[in-house]
Chain A
């Protein structure tokens, strides 16, 4: 038995597609009625409840989604089943009584290959492959856990960075929240999505948190990635390394991004944006 779960519908699909490729009986846990597994538990996704549902299926493999909540649930399931655990895997192969997986290590500096004994618990991000629809037995299962939600602030879900073709990404070197408008103007001029590093999103709130690119944010792969005032720490690079062309704008020629870009423009970020917009519009 394989169990697939995610609080996110799209992520559930990519996990289900991977499960289907392994040709075993599949149980799913989701918030919505999605018809990609033999049976499906529909629940409002209290973590205690999901951990119970998944563990009770006695799976040989659990494939979770890659959201922060999914990873929290996955790790607990691994502990409860005393199972091998590998989150955010980018490749999975079944080899007899084991699984061989690949995932990023050392904050993005490395690609690690691991062998997992069975049972195993992994998580996967959203992907391109979609699962086949199938006859699904739906079971509703609600319940309350030990952690109470007092308040929920729905984030906006402002862009889909994962599928953006051009991305303008801002870092601390943009200077201020106020200055982000220059990057926005540049993004508008070239039809790009606007993204940012962790400090400008999660810490300082210059941009909404779902715009964060990197190890703990979104992994992106645009044709063109413009990094404005981003130093290029491993965790940032981990999220944009597979981009087509990388242009960096930095006043420091020796910033680590210099080693990881195709073009390094040594300039002030604001002046660069203004000049670009002027030329592209003129």
Chain B
């Protein structure tokens, strides 16, 4: 045991609980958005934006391993059921900031204000959202807060106040290091978000949700959203593989594609 301590001085370090803020967005489920009579039907179920769940998972893991706290922040749609999902996953509390239409700069302004008042060790976001997909929120919050940012992290490791991350910058991978506090955006490959148990879902109703309002004056206004749809022939070839392959080759030759 003593030998262990001498060889691995790290074992004796007392880890202080890290406070992590994690941003997540409530978005319309993009897989349910359909086009009907030339228009997008946006009246669909909402969800936590896909990779924001990876950010939540990572925040909860860090909180669990260091004995700190994980606080969620969401801006825009503050649907309670969706916020409860984040709480069920292990977030201790959520700050829910409602706004009218805002651009990513507005969202960053609102979150940076919260972050400054909470002064956490680490702020996590997903690499991008499924609605606006700007990948801009993390870098903007870091800039407003005045700390370094590491984007597209596919793994992170904390060692005291030093954070080391593996960045996926296709086709390059970089291992980078900086000191906390910092902002990190995580990729969808960093972990597999947990599915909360029934008990965690029940208990989440006792966790606090602080609601706020934010008045945004966006610099980028959304004028219109049109379907991006390419009409296809949709010919189905079904049957024995030899036969359908023969038919396909004939069709492709006729089209001049082969």
Contacts and interface: CB of A to CB of B under 8 A. Distances in A.
Given A86-B220, A276-B245, A280-B249, A259 B232 contact: yes
Interface stretch (A133-141, A177-185, A206-214): A206-214
A75 B140 contact: yes
B139 interface: yes
B222 A114 contact: yes
Contacts of A235: 130
B49 to A, nearest CB: 10
Contacts of A276: 245, 248-249
B220 A116 contact: yes
Interface in B163-221: 164, 168-179, 187-189, 218-221
Interface in A69-104: 69, 71-76, 78-80, 82-88, 100, 104
A165 to B, nearest CB: 10
A104 B224 CA distance: 12
Contacts of A190: 258
Contacts of A110: 33, 40, 225-228
A268 interface: yes
B124 to A, nearest CB: 15
Given A149-B174, A202-B168, A105 B132 contact: yes
A241 to B, nearest CB: 5
B151 interface: yes
Contacts of B160: none
Interface in B137-169: 137-140, 142-144, 148-152, 164, 168-169
A268 B241 contact: yes
Contacts of B135: 68, 71-72, 75, 87
A259 B232 CA distance: 7
A190 B232 CA distance: 22
B177 A76 contact: no
Interface residues of A, number: 95
Given A76-B140, A147-B148, A147-B150, A209 B177 contact: no
Interface in A11-62: 47-48, 51
B143 A79 contact: yes
A3 B137 CA distance: 22
Which of B187, B218, B245 has the most C-beta atoms of chain A within 10 angstroms of its own C-beta? B245
Contacts of B148: 48, 145-147
A210 B170 contact: yes
B169 A67 contact: yes
Interface in A171-217: 190, 198, 202-203, 208-210, 212, 215-217
A148 B176 contact: yes
A83 B219 contact: yes
Given A72-B135, A202-B189, A280-B249, A234 B31 contact: yes
Chain A contact residues, majority secondary structure: mixed
A82 B178 CA distance: 26
Contacts of B234: 258-259, 261-262, 264
Contacts of A153: 172-174
Contacts of B172: 152-155
B249 A263 contact: no
A78 B105 contact: yes
A279 B249 CA distance: 9
B115 to A, nearest CB: 13
B242 A109 contact: no
A85 B241 contact: no
Contact of A247 (B103, B169, B248): B248
Contact of A85 (B142, B220, B246, B248): B220
13 contacts: A48-B148, A68-B135, A105-B131, A109-B228, A115-B223, A149-B174, A153-B173, A155-B173, A157-B171, A217-B170, A246-B232, A259-B232, A264-B236
Q: Which 5 pairs show the lowest CB-CB distances between chains A and B?
A: A155-B171, A75-B136, A84-B219, A79-B143, A75-B139
